[in-house]
């Protein structure tokens, strides 16, 4: 699979040139380790990290602290690194987003569309050189869309099945780990893309085009569906065969859904001036420009600001409703934020999305899975990530409270270990200084 080839590159990056404070060894003592996939909490554990890997996890008396920097984990909880499965990092600048992501414990992202592959490749090089903290990422590059509103830029326009097939071959040639599609594809072009993607072993993900039903998309092999889609209208409490048929098709084909209420919630925060000053101070020039561009688009659809506020509040409510229904029907969910849009901030928005998932009816454990074990399973990375256990890459958060009791605890961070490198106290805070690059000299 192309994804695995790309992965070899990504997992190999980021640590060789950034040794931990004590060469090769870091120990977190006497901590509760949460395994989201198993739904287990193991108290009294000690974790030993050497280089980029976890080498031992076990009862505290059984794991040696010899020669290591020791962090006392008493009363704290460790969870695997978080993933944001829907970002647009070019809206912030990859290099500028990474320190903020790591400070928030978001150690993996799937980037759902950026103008070209140059920015992600440059970020990969910067991580390798130790210039920016390690975030594992998969970037789709240019998105495929049908003939569209000229306001929407950075798309590869494909208007016929032939153009769709050629575009898939082009993405394979440029080394894209997967393909992102947009909503304006016509049905024959969508189906041609699906067929060609299958033939070339490359996955495709994105918006559900208007002429294609979720059932058709699922049966055609779509990997993930983003934001949402038109769901059959059903009366509360009554049986609804059309809805059951849709959710059964999603489950039968293993399709993941990526609701992104944090995106509309971000817009609500902009239009109601609700972004805290310390977060506002972190907005990059690129971020400001991207937000302004989106605001110009919004103003075409909803001229006065109160109308925009109303529209995006309704968007949050709609996303919550859809998520609740999908969850109730057992559809698999991934946490995503559409980071890059107005009011979204790298890392911060993922914590907000976790809160919104719980508001939609997921338990804190289920929400945590949507950002840890589910993304790792969707990406096929179970061998290396998703659990805090011996042999895995050392990507984890040390939390001050138990997130299974209250999901906002994911945001109460004592420290983050990214690819074996600890960010605790001042090291972590320095990732969030507005001018800082987040690296030590």
Q: How far is the CB of 435 from Zn ion (least distance, A)?
A: 28
| # binding residues, Zn ion (CB under 5 A) | 2
Closest to Zn ion by CB, 28 vs 339, is: 339
Q: Which residues pair with 225 in a beta bridge?
A: 206, 257
Q: In terms of CB distance, is 94 or 393 closer to Zn ion?
A: 94
Query: CB-based contacts of 75: which residues, under 8 Å, 6+ apart?
Result: 400
Question: What span, in angstroms and rounded, lies between the C-alpha atoms of 236 and 240?
Answer: 9
Distance CA 262, CA 114 (A): 19
Owner of token pair 């600890």: 422
Query: Taking the complex as a whole, how short is the minimal distance between the CB of residue 14 and Zn ion, in angstroms?
Result: 25
Q: Which of residues 257 and 424 has its CB atom nearest to Zn ion in the complex?
A: 257
- Residue 294 or residue 419: which is nearer to Zn ion going by CB? 294
Q: Which residues of 352-378 are buried (b: 16+ CB within 10 A; e: fewer)?
A: bbbbbbbebebebbbbbbbbbbbbbbb
**Using CB under 5 A, which residues numbered 321 to 350 contact Zn ion?**
338
**Closer by beta carbon to Zn ion, 247 or else 344:** 344
Nearer to Zn ion, 112 or 333 (CB): 112
**Choice between 338 and 427, CB closer to Zn ion:** 338
Residues 82-141 that bind Zn ion (CB under 5 A): 112
Task: Quote the least distance from Cβ 151 to Zn ion, whole Å.
Answer: 15
User: What is the spatial distance between Cα 282 and Cα 423, in angstroms, rounded to a whole number?
Assistant: 18
User: Using the rule CB under 5 A, is 181 a contact of Zn ion?
Assistant: no
Closest contact distance (angstroms) between CB of 87 and Zn ion is 8
Q: Is residue 358 within 8 Å of residue 44, measured between CB atoms?
A: no
The CA angle 332-337-338, to the nearest 5 degrees, is 115
Shortest Cβ 88–Zn ion spacing (Å): 6
C-alpha–C-alpha distance, residues 369 and 357, integer Å = 11
Least Å distance, CB 112 to Zn ion, is 5
DSSP one-letter string for 108-146: EEEE---S-SHHHHHHHHHHHTTSS---EEEE--SEEE-
CA angle 214-218-221, nearest 5°? Answer: 145
By CB neighbour count within 10 A (0-12 exposed, 13-18 middle, 19+ buried), where does 25 fall?
A: buried
Task: Quote the least distance from Cβ 225 to Zn ion, whole Å.
Answer: 12
Q: Looking at beta carbons only, is 29 or 352 nearer to Zn ion? A: 352
H, E, C per residue of 177-205? CEEEECCCCCHHHHHHHHHHHHHCCCEEE
Burial class (CB in 10 A: 0-12, 13-18, 19+), 329: middle
Shortest spacing between CB 198 and Zn ion, in angstroms: 23
Residue 87 or 134: the one with the smaller Cβ distance to Zn ion is: 87
Cα separation, 267 vs 315, whole angstroms: 10
Question: Least distance (Å) from Zn ion to the CB of residue 184?
Answer: 14
Q: What residues line the site for Zn ion (CB under 5 A)? A: 112, 338
């Amino acid at each position: 699979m192309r994804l695995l080839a790309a992965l070899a590159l990504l997992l190999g990056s980021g640590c060789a040139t950034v040794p931990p404070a004590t060469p090769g060894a870091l120990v977190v003592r006497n901590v509760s380790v949460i395994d989201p996939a198993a739904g287990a909490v193991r108290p009294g554990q000690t974790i030993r990290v050497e280089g980029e890997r976890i080498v031992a996890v076990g009862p505290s008396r059984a794991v040696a602290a010899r020669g290591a920097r020791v962090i006392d984990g008493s009363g704290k909880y460790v969870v695997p690194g978080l993933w944001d499965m829907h970002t647009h990092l070019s809206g912030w600048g990859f290099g500028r987003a990474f320190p903020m992501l790591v400070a928030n414990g978001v150690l993996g992202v799937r980037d759902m569309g950026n103008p070209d592959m140059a920015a992600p490749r440059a970020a990969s090089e910067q991580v390798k050189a130790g210039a920016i903290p390690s975030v594992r990422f998969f970037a789709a590059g240019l998105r495929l869309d049908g003939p569209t509103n000229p306001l929407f830029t950075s798309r590869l326009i494909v208007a016929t099945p032939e153009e769709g097939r050629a575009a898939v071959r082009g993405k394979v040639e440029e080394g894209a780990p997967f393909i992102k599609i947009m909503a304006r594809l016509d049905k024959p072009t969508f189906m041609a893309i699906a067929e060609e993607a299958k033939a070339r072993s490359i996955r495709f993900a994105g918006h559900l085009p208007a002429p294609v039903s979720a059932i058709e998309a699922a049966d055609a092999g779509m990997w993930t569906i983003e934001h949402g889609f038109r769901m059959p209208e059903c009366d509360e409490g009554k049986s609804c065969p059309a809805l059951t048929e849709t959710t059964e098709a999603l489950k039968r084909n293993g399709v993941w859904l990526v609701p992104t209420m944090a995106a509309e919630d971000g817009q609500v925060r902009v239009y109601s001036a609700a972004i805290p000053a310390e977060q506002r101070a972190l907005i990059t020039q690129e971020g400001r420009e991207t937000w302004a561009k989106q605001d110009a688009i919004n103003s075409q659809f909803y001229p006065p600001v109160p109308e925009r506020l109303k529209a995006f509040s309704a968007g949050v409510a709609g996303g919550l409703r859809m998520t609740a229904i999908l969850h109730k029907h057992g559809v698999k969910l991934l946490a995503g934020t559409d980071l890059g849009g107005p009011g979204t901030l790298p890392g911060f928005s993922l914590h907000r999305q976790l809160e919104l998932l719980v508001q939609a009816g997921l338990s804190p454990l289920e929400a945590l899975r949507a950002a840890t074990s589910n993304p790792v399973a969707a990406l096929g990375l179970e061998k290396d990530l998703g659990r805090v256990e011996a042999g895995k890459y050392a990507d984890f958060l040390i939390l001050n409270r138990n997130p299974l009791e209250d999901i906002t605890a994911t945001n109460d961070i004592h420290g983050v270990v990214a690819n074996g490198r600890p960010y605790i106290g001042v090291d972590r805070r320095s990732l969030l200084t507005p001018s800082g690059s987040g690296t030590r000299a």
